[in-house]
Amino acid sequence: MDADTGREPFGARLRRAMDTRGPLCVGIDPHASLLHDWGLSDDVAGLSAFTRTVVEALADRVAVLKPQSAFFERFGSRGVAVLEEAVAEARAAGALVLMDAKRGDIGSTMAAYAATYLDKDSPLFSDALTVSPYLGFGSLRPALDAARVSGSGLFVLALTSNPEGAEVQRATTERGPSVAQTVLDHAAEENAGVTPLGSVGAVVGATLGEAGVNLAINGPLLAPGIGAQGATPADLPGVFGAAVGHVVPSVSRGVLRHGPDVYALRAAAERFNDDVRTAVEGARRAR
């Protein structure tokens, strides 16, 4: 328990969930093409049916569910209402909800985003939030403070899975290290001394081949890019090296394409979890 908040911090809750349920995070990304493939209409009714099915299939068994806010926002306030319901239901069923909204703004506006996702009285209150540090890591301070108060987590974009990210993230700072390394160093400072795992995570794409940065941040490493973007669980040891035990591999379409059958969705998630465990264990034995 955190002495100040009385709530178990996100990092500790995530570590336990990864150890008991497996490390996989499944993204809830209701693409129009997936709604079509599931035989659903591309409207709020289709969005709602899709989201309920994913939550019913997976919230009681995977460690993390990651709704991608954009796919809900595109339907306006009624889409956001579907998102609110999904967050509450997934959390009630035992999944940790990572809201993928990639928020980032100047401090005072960032405080409003923090109130939206990291205040326990907000309708969109989530266990963790993805944030962008590209207005300067310090601009995230209101979110870092709010997360600490509510026992929530943050995942800060460091090296994203898309090829366009490199021109910003691999650029070197005046002090020498890359921009991404500077972000990771800030995350490490936030997590210093925390056990068993800090609550400030970083996003590092599974597609990178080799991260080429120091990933020892004492926090979770969200690894998107598995499945539809071409990476596989077997790539994880090569990308993450000694930090692979802290990796939360994230898959959206690679699991969702197996719906709408709930058993097929469960089987797909289980296969990814098994493949990740095999890859991580193999890397541990080889060390």
Nearer to ligand OMP, 58 or 196 (CB): 58
Size of the site for ligand OMP (CB under 6 A): 20
Nearer to ligand OMP, 208 or 244 (CB): 208
Q: Per-residue contact track with ligand OMP, 38 to 57, x per CB under 6 A?
A: --------------------
| Stretch binding ligand OMP (CB under 6 A), from 50-58, 78-86, 233-241, 246-254 | 246-254
Catalytic residue among 91, 102, 170, 257: 102
Among 53, 116, 160, 199, the residue binding ligand OMP under the rule CB under 6 A is 160
Among 100, 127, 190, 235, the residue binding ligand OMP under the rule CB under 6 A is 100
Question: Binding of ligand OMP at residue 253 (CB under 6 A)?
Answer: yes
Say whether 120 is catalytic. Answer: no
Write out the DSSP string of 126-138.
-SEEEE--TT-GG
Question: Binding of ligand OMP at residue 29 (CB under 6 A)?
Answer: yes
**Site of tokens 């990308």:** 239
Among 11, 142, 205, 260, the residue binding ligand OMP under the rule CB under 6 A is 205
Question: Binding of ligand OMP at residue 27 (CB under 6 A)?
Answer: yes
Nearer to ligand OMP, 1 or 168 (CB): 168
Question: Binding of ligand OMP at residue 252 (CB under 6 A)?
Answer: yes
Nearer to ligand OMP, 164 or 174 (CB): 164
Within 105-144, the residues that bind ligand OMP by CB under 6 A are 130
Among 51, 53, 68, 181, the residue binding ligand OMP under the rule CB under 6 A is 68
| Stretch binding ligand OMP (CB under 6 A), from 194-202, 225-233, 238-246, 268-276 | 225-233
Q: Are 250 and 224 in contact (CB under 8 A)?
A: yes
- Joined together, the tokens standing for residue 20 give 């008991």
Q: Are 128 and 98 in contact (CB under 8 A)?
A: yes
Write out the DSSP string of the chain.
--TTTSS--HHHHHHHHHHHH-S-EEEE---HHHHHHTT--SSHHHHHHHHHHHHHHHTTTSSEEEEBTHHHHTTTHHHHHHHHHHHHHHHHTTPEEEEEEEE---HHHHHHHHHHHSSTTSTT--SEEEE--TT-GGGGHHHHHHHHHHT-EEEEEEE-SSGGGHHHHTSBPTTSSBHHHHHHHHHHHHHTT-SS--SEEEEE-TTSS---S----SS-EEE--BSTTSB-GGGHHHHHGGGGGGEEEEESHHHHTTTT-HHHHHHHHHHHHHHHHHHHHHHHHH-
Phi, psi of 8 (to 5 degrees): -65, 130
Question: Binding of ligand OMP at residue 219 (CB under 6 A)?
Answer: no
Among 48, 126, 139, 161, the residue binding ligand OMP under the rule CB under 6 A is 161
CB 130, min distance to ligand OMP, A: 4
Annotated catalytic residues are: 102
Residues near ligand OMP, by CB under 6 A: 27, 29, 68, 100, 130, 160-162, 203, 205, 224-225, 227-229, 250-254
